[in-house]
Amino acid sequence: MNFNKEMLERLAELEHRQWATWMKYMLKNLTSENIEKWKKQADTPYKDLTEKEKDSDRNWAKEVQKILNGS
């Protein structure tokens, strides 16, 4: 697979979108309860997340697949 500059830029743009989406959500929902929940999630290996939590990560992984497949 050729990871050229164009693909790198598309993946970096996606990473920024993911980060921006999370930051906007976090800033709207910043409570002590959510902070504790997010700390717990951050310390949890992917394999131990709930299916709902995994689905969120899978959705972003699908976006990466689209880029890698040339979509």
Question: Residue 37: pLDDT above 70?
Answer: yes
pTM of the complete model: 0.78
Mean pLDDT of 41-54: 96
Contact 62, 18 (CB under 8 A): no
Q: How confident is the model at residue 1 (pLDDT cuts 50, 70, 90)?
A: low
pLDDT tens digits, 3-21: 688 889 999 999 999 999 9
pLDDT value, residue 61: 95
Mean pLDDT of 31-55: 96
